Amino acid sequence: MFLALQLLHSHSSSFNMANNTQILNLISMALLLLFVSNSEGYSAAEEEADRISALPGQPKVSFPQFSGYVTVNKVAGRALFYWLTESPNSPSSKPLVIWLNGGPGCSSVAYGASEEIGPFRINKSASGLYLNKFSWNNVANLLFLETPAGVGFSYTNRSSDLLDTGDRRTAMDSLEFLIRWLDRFPRYKNREVYITGESYAGHYVPQLARQIMVYNKKSKHPINLKGIMVGNAVTDNYYDNLGTVTYWWSHAMISDKTYQQLINTCDFRRQKESNECESLYSYAMDQEFGNIDQYNIYAPPCNNSDGNRFTRHSMRLPHRPHSIFRQLSGYDPCTEKYAEIYYNRPDVQKALHANTTGIRYKWTACSEVLNRNWNDTDGSVLPIYKEIIAGGLRVWVFSGDVDSVVPVTATRYSLAQLKLSTKIPWYPWYVKKQVGGWTEVYEGLTFATVRGAGHEVPLFKPRAALQLFKSFLSGEPLPKA
C-alpha cells in the first residue's frame, strides 16, 4: 500500500491529462504493488524499506543489499538485526546462505561480513569500504545475522535477557527470525537454505538446523534446509579441551611438564575447573605462550590495538573451563577496531537502518555482558550431528590448522566419536595448484583442513575458503588437483 501511494504521489506532478496511457500505466503499476503487498502481508513494502541504497564510502556494486530488524519476541521486545548481500550473478537462482559468528556474544557483521566472507572490507581509517574479490556472495546470497539479542545491533527491551541467555534461546529466536524474515522476503521461501558459521557457532549452526527440522515436521510451509558447514567449531567439551592442550604441546607452545600436569590434573568435562587446573592454564598462557595471537599462532601481532577494548581475543569460550584469556593482540590490519569505528558512525547506522531505537550503548564487535553471563550451553553437540546426518542434511566441518583456540586436533578428536565409516580416505586438496589442505569424506560428513589458516579461515586464506565453499554448495569432494 505504501509503495503504491508513493508511486502515484511521486509522479503526480508530471501527469499530463492528455497522456491517458501514462496515467493508466502508473495506476496499473500501483494496483499491482497494492495487490502484492496485501497478498504477501505487506512484504513488498517491508522489503523495500530495508533496501540499502549505498553505505558511506562504499564502492559501486551491482548487487542489491538489505538490512534491518525482525522482531522475534514482542513481549520482551527482542529484535534481531540482519544484513543481506545478494549475489551479483543471477541472485534468483542462487541459494540463501546464513552466516553466524560465535563468541558467544560476537557480531556476524563485525567478523563474517567485514573481515571474512562478505563483499566489503573496511579501510584503515574507517572512512570507507573496498571490495573483497573472494566474497562468498559471488556464488550465493549471504544473510548475516546478529544473534542473540544483545549482539551488535540486535537488542532486547528486557535487560534481564542479557544476563540469562544461552544456546536454547539463541536457537529458538534464530528460528523465529528466519520464519518471519522469509515472510518479508517471500521470493526466498522455496530457495535452498544453508547455515554456516565458525567458532561458538559450532553450537548455533547445528542447534538451529535441528530446530528447523522440528519445525518442518509440523509446518505446511517447510524451510528448504539442505545443509550446514562450520569452521574451527566448538563441538564437545571434553574432546575440544583435550585436543586443545594436545595442540599446544604438539606445536611447542607449552613444555612437556606443563602438558603432563594439565592432562593429569584437569577434568576436561567440567564447566568449572579446580583452582589447581586454573593455575596451570594461567601459567601456560602467561609464562610459556609468549606474546602470540592464539587465533593464529604464526601471524604477526597488531601492536597498535587499544588494550582496553573487549573483543573476541579477551573472551571466555564456554567449552574452556578457565576464564583467563588475556587481551591478546589481533591481526594487522586490526579489523575489529576499524569495524567498531565504522559501525558507530551515525551515517553508517542510518544507511543500514540500524539502531533505530537509540540503543544506549555503543556497537561493539563482541558483548562482554553476554559472554560473561552465558548460562545455557550444551556439553556436546555430537548428538545433534547424529540427528541431522540421519535427517539427510549435508554436513561439512573445516579447520584452519594454525588456530590454537579451537584447533584441528580438537575437531578431529570430537568427530572421531561419531564413528562414521570412510567413503573417500584422507587426501590433499588443491587450489591454484597448491595444497589448500587435507580432507576425508565420511558417510554423512565431510571434514577438511585449510593449510595455514587461523581461526577465521576466510580472513587468512580467502581463495582457499571460497573453493571450500563452492565445493560444499555443489556437494562434490574438494579437488584433488
Whether omega for the bond prior to residue 91 falls within 30 degrees of 0, making it cis, is no
Catalytic position from the list 403, 404, 414, 471: 403
Residue 459: left if φ>0, alpha if ψ -120 to 50, beta else—which one? Answer: alpha
Q: Select from 327, 328, 319 the least CA-distant residue to 273.
A: 319
Catalytic position from the list 161, 399, 455, 471: 455
Instruction: Say which residues have a Cβ less than 8 Å from residue 105's Cβ, sequence separation at least 6.
Output: 150, 151, 315, 366, 367, 368, 369, 370, 371, 374
3-state secondary structure of 70: strand
Pairing of the two strands 141-146 and 78-85: antiparallel
| Residue 168 one-letter amino acid | R
Helix, strand, coil share (%) of the chain residues, nearest 5: 40, 20, 40
Is residue 347 annotated as a catalytic residue, yes or no? no
Q: Residues 172, 379, 161, 369: is their CA dihedral positive or negative? A: negative
Give the relative orientation of helices 382-390 and 201-218 as an angle to the nearest 10 degrees.
40
C-alpha cell of residue 11 = 509522479
Q: Which residue has the cell 563483499?
A: 119
Q: Residues 73, 77, 80, 81: is their CA dihedral positive or negative? A: positive
Is residue 199 annotated as a catalytic residue, yes or no? yes
β-pair partners for 198: 231
Catalytic position from the list 37, 67, 154, 199: 199
Is residue 455 annotated as a catalytic residue, yes or no? yes
Distances (CA, A) of 306 to 300, 327, 330, 334: 16, 10, 10, 10
C-alpha cell of residue 386 = 547424529
Instruction: Say which residues have a Cβ less than 8 Å from residue 408's Cβ, sequence separation at least 6.
Output: 243, 247, 399, 400, 401, 449
C-beta separation of 407 from 240 below 8 A = no
The C-alpha atoms of residue 320 and residue 244 are separated, in whole angstroms, by: 10
Instruction: Say which residues have a Cβ less than 8 Å from residue 257's Cβ, sequence separation at least 6.
Output: none
Using the 8-state DSSP alphabet, how is residue 60 labeled? P
* Residue positions annotated with a catalytic role: 199, 403, 455
